[in-house]
Amino acid sequence: MNETLSQILDKANADKPLDEILKMSPAALKGVSDGDAELLAKAFGIKTIGDMARNKFFLRAQALVALSQSK
């Protein structure tokens, strides 16, 4: 099991190839439940981990945090 991925993903998914992981439901991430994934899909159209990573709202929030830390 990849140690880095095992900290991010549920155990069952940590050994999968990255391209496959990005196609998985956000529920494959540690701390994200099936219910959370359903809400992400309903609110933002996020169906995969890749969708979540590329979501414009998540990217904007990350940019704001980065700007606040660059002072």
% of the chain beyond a pLDDT of 90: 85
Residue written as token pair 């359903």: 38
Mean pLDDT, residues 12-34 taken together: 96
Q: What is the pLDDT of residue 1?
A: 54
* Cα(31)–Cα(38) distance, integer angstroms: 14
- Give the pLDDT confidence of 28-60 residue by residue, as tens digits: 999 999 999 999 999 999 999 999 999 999 999
Q: What is the pLDDT of residue 27?
A: 97
Cβ contacts of 57 within 8 Å, gap of 6 or more: 44
